Structure 1
Amino acid sequence: MTGKKVAKPSQAVLKEVRSLKGHEGDVAVIEPESGRYFVDKNLTVAMRQARKAFPGKVFYCLRLGPPHTHAGVSGGRFRKPGEQAKRSQRPRRVEKSL
Structure 2
Amino acid sequence: MGQHRPDLFQKFMAWYQACQEDGALSRREKALIGLAVAHVIQCPYCIDAYSQSCLESGSNMEQMTEAIHMASAIRGGAALIHGLQAHQSVNKVSM
Task: Name the TM tier (shorter chain).
Answer: under 0.3
Flag the structure with higher strand content: 1
Larger Rg: 1
Normalised by the length of structure 1, the TM-score is: 0.26
